[in-house]
Structure 1
C-alpha cells in the first residue's frame, strides 16, 4: 500500500522535495521608467493546476505579510487600483513555473519590495514565498548593488561588479567578504580590505579604487565558486554599507576542446542568424521540476572572451549590445551581422536547482560553439571589356536603324502628301 501511495504521488508531482520560490533580490530602476520582475518556483508539492502566483508589495525586510491590502495582483488576475493600467503579468513561454510582472510609470512610492507567493486555490491559502522578494532601488537613495550571478572559466581573470549609487570619491574603505547565501548576509571572512592610501598586489584587487570598486580575481579555479559581498565605508557615513544583492561566482573547468567549434554557419553580411546551444539536466534525481532558473551566457572569440550575450545588458560588449537576444531557451540571435562577427561564439548555461528552503545548487555546462563565416554582399556580375564594346556597337547600330526607319517613314508621308496635292 505504501509503495502504491509513493508511486501515485510521484506521477502527480507531489513529492517530498523541497519547495523553492526564487526572485532576484534587487533591481535598480528610474522614476518614470519600467521594471520586469521574474518569479520562479520548483517542486510546489501540489499539482500545477492547483497553484497560482499572487504578488504583494511591502516596505518590510521580508515577504512575510499576508495582509490583503498588500496584494497588488491576486491569483485570479485582479490588479489593485494603485497599479491599474501600469501592471501586467505574463507567463514565461519556455518554462511552466515562471512568470513575470512588468510595472510601468514607476513612482518612488511603489513597493519598494515586491514579493511573489504561491497560492493553493483548492484550500485558499498561501503556502510559500520567496523570502526576500525583489527590492527596487531608486535614484537619490544610498545603496550598493551587485549582480546576483557571474560565470567564469578556470584560468581566466574575473571581475565581480559592485556599484555605489553616490559619489564614489567619498569612499574611504572597501572590504570584500564571502557571503552566506542561506542567511543572506556577509560572513566575517574578509578576502581583503582596501583603503585609499593603501594598495595591494595580490590575487584579489579592485579594478580602480578611484573609479571602480569591483573585485578582480586573477587566475581563478573551481575552488573560487562562492558568493561574494561588497562592503564600503564613506567619509560621511557613520556605519558601513553593504550590498543587499550578493554575487554567486559560477566557475566552469576549462576544456581545450571548447575552443574548437562544432558548428559552422556561412551567411552574408547584413543578415541575421540564430546560433544553437543545448544543455542537459545534471545527472541524478534532478528533473525539470527542480529547476528555478536557467541563465545563458554567450562569449565571443574564445571561451574567455567578451560577452556577446549576458543576462545583464551592461555586461555585454558594446559591439553586441542591443544587437543580440535569446530565442527559445538558449539559442542566440544576432541581427545585422558584420565582418567583425567573422569569429567563434561559445555558449554556457547555468542551471539553478532547488536544494532546500531558500537554498540552491548551481550547475554550469558548456552548451557548444559555432563558427560564423561572413561573406560580403554579392555584387552583380561584371561584364568583360569585349562584351562592353559589343554592347556599345549594338546600341550604335540600333540607333542608326531607328533613325533610318524614321527618315523612311517621314519620306513616305511627305511623298504621299505631295501626290495628293498634285491630284487636286
Structure 2
C-alpha cells in the first residue's frame, strides 16, 4: 500500500490531532509482555474543557499488523455497543474512566497472536448532535515474549536540559532462571529519525547490573542537541548449548533535549536544615497550557543533575535514596535519610507532557535548595536555634501570663 494512500485513509477516517489541537489521544509507542500474563494498554485523551462533561464518549480499540493506525483495521472493542471481538472476549476489560479522559484497557492471558499495534480511538457525541472522532495514529506496538526469552522495558522518553548527565535505563526480566547478568552482553542502538526504531550501534559493552535487580543503564555525560533521538537496548544471552540468543527493543526511549521556559515561577527555599529528616518545599504556578496529559515533579541533585533523589519510577532513583524519599502534596520532598556532604543542593524539576502528533514536553527547574546538616557548632544554625528557643520561651511566658489572668478573672467572678 502506497504512503499516499495510507495518508489519504487517515485523513478520511475522522479527525486526528492534526485537525485540531484541542482533541488528542496519547498512547505509549511500545510495550512488552510474556505469554500468559495480563497486560495494560494505556490510553489518555484530551478535549476542550467545555466539551468534557457535556458529551457522550465511546471508546474504540482497533488492532493492526502494521506500524500505523488506519481506518480499515480490526475493531475488537466498542464500549457503546458493548462488543468485543471473539479473540479478546472474556480477556479484555476497560479499566480507565472515560469521564476522567482515560480509555485504558487490560488484556488478560496474553498469547503470541496478540502481537499487534493497538490503536485507541475516541468518539464524542456532543449535545448539539455533532460527532467528533480522534485517535493516535501510531498506537502501541506490543511485543510478546516466550517463557525462555527476555522482556526488555524502557521508559518512553527522557527529557533533559543541555548539560544534564542522562542515564538510559532498561529493566530486563525473564522466567528462565539460567540467565544471569554475568552471561549477558549488551549494546545500545540509536536512531535519529521520526520513528522509534534504532539502527546504528551507539555503544557495545558488557552489561552492568549495578542495582542487582536486572536494571541496566548507559550514561551520557553532558548531553547536547546532537544527542537527541531514540535509544534501544539490545541484549545477547549465552544459552546452555553455548549459542547466543539476541533480544532487542523494537521501540526505544526518546531522549528529548528541552529548552528551559520561564512560565511556571518555581519557588524553593534557598536553605533548609537536615536533622533526622528534611522537608523541602516546591511551589509553582498553575500552567495555562492546553492539551495537558499530566504534570509531574522530580527532584534531582548535583551540578549536572545526574542523580534523581525522587522519581515516580523507583528504578531512576539513586540507590542511596530508594525508599527514603517521597512527595506530599504532589511536590514537597520528604527526605528520610541523607548521604551527601553539607551544602548539597537539591533541585525541583516540574515536567508537563502535552498531547500532540509528537511528544511535547515543557520542563522548568527551581533555583535549588541548599541542605545544611544540623549542628550546634554551625554559627548560622546555632543562631537559628537560639532564635527558635527565644520564640518558644516568649510564647510560653505569654501563655502562662494569660493563664494567670484567666484564673484571677475566675476568682473575681466567684467573689462578686
Q: TM-score scaled to structure 1, two decimals?
A: 0.57
Q: Does 1:249 align with 2:255?
A: yes
Question: Aligned pair in 2 of structure 1 residues 303, 46: CA closer, same or farther (>3 Å)?
Answer: same
Query: Is contact 1:299–1:306 with CA below 8 Å preserved after alignment?
Result: yes
What residue number does 1:194 align with? 204
The equivalent of 1:421 in structure 2 is none
| CA RMSD, 1 decimal | 5.1
Matches within 5 A, 1:214-253: 214-231=217-234, 236=243, 241-251=247-257
Identify the residue that residue 21 of structure 2 maps to in structure 1.
17
Partner of 2:404: none
Evaluate the alpha carbon distance shift between residue 88 and residue 192 of structure 1 in structure 2; reply closer, same or farther with a 3 A threshold: closer
Give the direction of change, closer, same or farther, for the CA distance of 1:35–1:192 in structure 2 (3 Å limit).
closer
1:85-127 per-position Cα deviation (integer Å, ceiling 9, x unaligned): x7632479xxx64x264759x5334966654321223467853
What secondary structure, in the 3-state scheme, does the structure 2 residue paired with 1:220 have? coil
Deviation per residue, 1:4-28 (Å, 9 max, x gap): xxxxxxxxxx984385421223445
Question: Alpha carbons of 1:194 and 1:116: their partners in 2 closer, same or farther (altered >3 Å)?
Answer: same
Establish whether residue 88 from structure 1 lines up as the match of residue 95 from structure 2. Answer: yes
Q: How does 1:158-197 map to 2 (within 5 A)?
A: 158-165=166-173, 167=179, 174-181=187-194, 183-187=195-199, 190=200, 192=202, 194=204
Q: What stretches of structure 2 of length at least 5 have no aligned partner? A: 1-17, 261-266, 376-384, 390-416
Q: Which residue of 2 aligns with 1:309?
A: 310
Which runs of 5 or more residues in structure 1 are unaligned? Answer: 1-13, 197-205, 255-259, 282-286, 382-424
Separation of aligned partners in 2, 1:370 and 1:78? 54
Please state if 1:41 is matched with 2:42. Answer: no
* Contact 1:278-1:368 within 8 A present in 2 as well: no
Matching residue of 2:378: none
SS state at 2:90 partner = helix
1:276 corresponds to: 282
CA-CA distance at 1:316 after TM superposition = 1.4
Question: Which residue is 1:129 aligned to?
Answer: 136
1:265–1:31 Cα change, 3 Å: farther
Query: Partner residue of 2:11?
Result: none
By how many angstroms is 1:176 displaced? 1.7
Q: What displacement does 1:212 show?
A: 7.7
Residue of structure 2 in register with 1:351 after alignment: 352
Q: In terms of Rg, which structure is larger?
A: 1
1:26-175 matches, cutoff 5 A: 26-27=30-31, 38-42=42-46, 47-48=51-52, 49-50=54-55, 52=57, 54=59, 56=61, 58=63, 60=65, 64=70, 67=74, 70-71=76-77, 74=79, 82=90, 88-90=95-97, 97=101, 99=102, 101=104, 103=106, 106-109=108-111, 115-122=119-126, 126-129=133-136, 131-133=138-140, 135=142, 140=147, 141-165=149-173, 167=179, 174-175=187-188
**How far apart, CA to CA, are the structure 1 residues paired with 2:22 and 2:294?**
16
Residue 189 of structure 2 aligns to a residue whose secondary structure is: strand
Residues 348 and 365 in structure 2, CA contact (< 8 A), matched pair in contact too: yes
Structure 1 residue 154: deviation in Å?
3.9
